[in-house]
Structure 1
Amino acid sequence: MKNRRERGGLFGLLARNYLLFTLVLLLLAGGVFALWNAWLLNVYQPADWPGLLGDHALNEGSYERLRHYLKGAGDAFAVYGADGRLVYATEENFDPHCPPEVLETVVPYGSSVETQAFEKLAEDGSRRFLVIRHFYGEGADGQEERVDAALLDQEYRVIFGGLGDGRSRYTPEEYAYLSGRRFPEDQLIRAEFTDTQGERRTILMREKRMGTEESYQSYLAARWIWLLFLPLYLAAAGAFIVWMRRKIGRPLRRLNEAVEAQARGQMVRVGDCGGPREIRQIGESFDRFADRLAESEGERKRLDEGRQKLIADISHDLKTPITVIAGYVDAICDGKVPPGEQEPYLRAIQSRAQGLTELINAFHEYSKVEHPQFVLQLERTDLCEYLRAYLAGKYDEIDLAGFTLEISIPERAVFCALDRMQFRRVLDNLLSNALRHNRLGTILFFELTQEEKTVLLRVGDNGDGIPPERAQTIFEPFVVGSEARSGKGSGLGLAITRRVMEGHGGEIRLEPHPRPGRSTEFVLTLPRMEG
């Protein structure tokens, strides 16, 4: 078993092959991406800001000559003087006046700064603004990174943190440039320079962010390159399928062959079918299922034998009285019995006929309670009053039989859902068995107790008791006090009793350890009704 576990499971097999397949796909995707990237670089050229800043025309104030550095449709720049006055702009949507304090909030050219701004509502309904700046730079120790964060109220006052610029409050214009909301679809950077007249000036450079319509059109223009990925993917997937078919398909076919053989009625076992751990476990489960099926087949044969025994018992119980009746009738008809001596024979015939009638009635009752459509007519009944009335009606019969009755029934009402007629049959069966199988002077016990949701009725006696070999099968049909079935009764009474109790939602059991002073004790359990 350990060796089979060490081979690994289905997850490990799939994981290994998946990683291999993924690696192949990554290599294919990398090659296609390289072609696609080369195409995009050829199609999309960003603005040449380094060339613009290095051109002498910028210092000379010949700003119109700098337009050729703008490549995209959304590229633009504007030049502001030291007082924030707009000197030149390639487009009209730049602010005509932008104070230096506002310009300082724009990310400087050449710096690696990423700014994010978020707006949310506080519990009092006022607005809050969270600004996060991520600085990437190279210090004395090499690459370094810093994150500054500031929380502003709706008046743009800093209430927590800071961005490292020493400000405790921003104007709406400063926050608009700081958060990028002034030009939400563009990326804005600034650079400072001194013109030929010695005046300090600031240039704002703006270009479209990636993901805008222009960039999207560029992506669409290069989509044909990705079509190469489809045939390459299909080839890799085909190779992967063939490999997995060898690893998984073979043991699955073996399992399928075993299932088909089982369907044909052949008891087979799979054993070690190979493959991943999970498939081997299915094979082991199949073997266990085959074993259970064999056990079920054995149980079916046992039930068939029981059914045959049942038929034999019925035949025996019917044959014996019929044989006696036929023998006596033949003797009378053949003149072997003188007329004056026929009465004892007729009495015997009458007795056997009555016994046969009782046996047939018992068969009839047993067939009714075992029928799937057997339904009880339940009604709300005070069980205490019902038992008192029943035992009062049976008192003379018990007394004439030489038995003593001890009763323990609560004074207060205990309600249950009863079919009065069928529950009377339950009590009749238990009482008749006690009277039939015990000697004179036996004490009969009827004791009723309550539990939280059930009612317990204990019916017992201190007579001869039930043989231990019969106790386990006492509720089976045709079980009587003798293996030879020579005792009185049909052996169906307790089987009928159990079925009726189950129809009431309760049960009946033979107590293996009766209470002191009792040799036999049946415990009847019924659901209790409230009220």
Structure 2
Amino acid sequence: MICVGKLLGVKRRLQDMTDALSDMEAGNGNRRILAVGNEPTADLSYKMNEIVTRYEEQLSGLRAADETNRRLMTSLSHDVRTPLTTLIGYLDAAHRGVVTGKEREEYLEIARHKAHDLKDYIDVLFDWFKLNSSEFALSIERAELAELTRNNLKDWIPIFEENHLDYEIEIPERPLFAKADPDGYARILNNLVQNVIAHSRATRIKIKMKQKEKEIEICVEDNGIGIEKADLPHIFERLYKCDKGRSDQGSGLGLSIVRQMVEKMDGRITVRSEPNRVTSFTICFPVKN
């Protein structure tokens, strides 16, 4: 027979649990149900605390996602509307005859560059939304990265020369096979190279590929202004823009997209930087024999 005192104790504990749950429902995510190990309600209290903890973690994730989306929309409004307005201004001036001759040609050239910049920005946004949609999927296969890298980089050489950027490319002649999505790999490489051109103010870029025992390593290195030590731990975070180091242009999504795509291919990416000396992004993919 259960004594009256024990029943009253259980009743008090159940009332405490009810009060705690009401407090949680009101928004106190830090509230927990206290229990002593030998109480009849202890297991129930522990389980309810676990559920509340998981719920609070999910809620925290949703808040972070909502804040990211809010910042993204703010960034989108500024980073798309501003250059678009400027682009229209240059084209209108050329179209209406406000500028003529050589100056008109210069206006059209500026407009062309701004149109390309805008396209690059929108491409990054589309990549971001695709990566974070439930429909996104990579086609990971046995890919020959050496030839894929050569074919991709040959399109960059005129851009290197146009930007007065000395380049050094080291790719082994023999095939290097890894598990990767060819299109995704090309996007990763393009983003890293574009990052150097757009933000580093470098005069030299070096791209080197080699095979280690179980990995293929691709390194993109520049001699630009670099990344400050305080920024390095955050460089792959969504919408993160360095206060110093790289320029404040761009969406703040490019390197986050790179990391996500590398990890979706079971690879890893690291970065090291000595400001005004060297910055190096290194990607490693598992070898596929």
- Please indicate the TM-score interval, normalised by the length of the shorter structure: 0.7 to 0.9
Structure 1 distance, partners of 2:250, 2:37, is: 63
Question: Kindly tell me: are residues 384 and 518 of structure 1, through their superposed partners in 2, closer, same or farther at Cα, counting changes over 3 Å?
Answer: farther
Distance in 2, Cα, partners of 1:314 & 1:417: 34
Give the conservation status (yes or no) of the 8 Å contact 2:20–2:33. no
* Aligned match of 1:425: 187
Give the Å deviation of 1:439.
4.9
Aligned to 1:403: 166
Moved more, 496-505 or 314-323: 496-505
For 1:522, the equivalent position in structure 2 comes to 281
Alpha-carbon distance change, 444 to 247 in structure 1, aligned in 2, over 3 angstroms: same
Superposition deviation, residue 257 in structure 1: 3.7
TM-score normalised to the size of structure 1?
A: 0.45
Bigger Rg, which one: 1
Relative to 1, partners in 2 of residues 1:352 and 1:460: Cα closer, same or farther, differing over 3 Å?
closer
**Partner in structure 1 of residue 237 of structure 2:** 476
Stretches of structure 1 lacking an aligned partner (at least 5 in a row) = 1-238
Residues 518 and 391 (structure 1), Cα distance of their counterparts in 2 relative to 1, 3 Å cut: farther
- The alignment covers a number of residue pairs equal to 286
Deviates further, 266-275 or 318-327: 266-275
Superimposed CA distance per residue, residues 271-313 of structure 1 (whole angstroms, 9 cap, x where no aligned partner) = 7667945756875886797688667656654543333222111
Amino acid in structure 2 at the alignment position of 1:358: D
Aligned to 2:228: 467
Per the alignment, residue 354 of structure 1 pairs with 116
Higher RCO (CA-CA < 8 Å; seq separation 6+): 2
In 2, distance between residues paired with 1:313 and 1:439?
23
- Secondary structure at the aligned position of 2:139 is classed as coil
SS at match of 2:125: helix
Q: Deviations over 1:340-362 (max 9, x none)?
A: 56444444444333332332232
CA distance in 1, matches of 2:28, 2:161: 64
2:286 partner SS = strand
Which residue in 2 is equivalent to 1:305? 67
Where does 1:12-411 land on structure 2 (aligned, <5 Å)?
A: 239-240=1-2, 242=4, 244-263=6-25, 265=27, 269=31, 276=38, 279=41, 300-328=62-90, 337=98, 342-391=104-153, 394-395=156-157, 397-398=159-160, 401-407=164-170, 409=171
Q: CA RMSD in A?
A: 4.1
Question: Matched residue of 2:85: which SS?
Answer: helix
Q: Provide the rounded CA distance (Å) in 1 between the counterparts of 2:40 and 2:273.
A: 47
Q: Secondary structure at the match of 1:356?
A: helix
- Tell me how far apart the structure 2 counterparts of residues 387 and 249 of structure 1 sit (CA, whole Å): 70
Alpha-carbon separation, structure 2, partners of 1:511 and 1:420: 26
Q: Which of 429, 450, 466 does residue 212 from structure 2 map onto?
A: 450
Query: What's the TM-score once normalised by structure 2's chain length?
Result: 0.75
**Quick one: which amino acid aligns to residue 240 of structure 1?**
I
Looking at structure 2, the residues matched to 435 and 242 of structure 1 have their Cα atoms a distance apart, in angstroms, of: 78
User: What one-letter code is carried by the residue in structure 2 that aligns with 1:306?
Assistant: T
Q: Deviations over 1:88-108 (max 9, x none)?
A: xxxxxxxxxxxxxxxxxxxxx
Separation in 2, partners of 1:313, 1:343? 31
Unaligned runs of 5+ in 2: none
Deviation (angstroms), 1:314: 1.0
Report if aligned partners of 2:205, 2:220 keep a CA contact under 8 Å in 1.
no
**Alpha-carbon distance change, 268 to 426 in structure 1, aligned in 2, over 3 angstroms:** closer
Is the Cα contact below 8 Å between 2:202 and 2:223 reproduced in 1?
Answer: no
Partner of 1:83: none
* Code of the aligned partner of 1:379: E
The separation in 1 between residues aligned to 2:251 and 2:23, in whole angstroms, is 46
Q: Distance in 2 between matches of 1:240 and 1:449?
A: 72
Pick closer, same or farther for the CA change 1:512–1:247 going to 2, 3 Å.
Answer: farther
How far the C-alpha of 1:478 sits from its partner, in A, is 3.9
Once the two structures are TM-superposed, the CA of residue 374 in structure 1 deviates from its matched residue by 1.2
Q: Judging by fraction of residues, say which structure has more strand.
A: 1
State the 4+ residue runs in structure 1 displaced beyond 6 angstroms. 284-296
- 1:508 and 2:269 aligned: yes
- The structure that is helix-richer by fraction is 2
> Contact (CA 8 Å) 2:204, 2:223: kept in 1 or not?
yes
Distance, in Å, in 2 between the alignment partners of 1:279 and 1:374 is 45
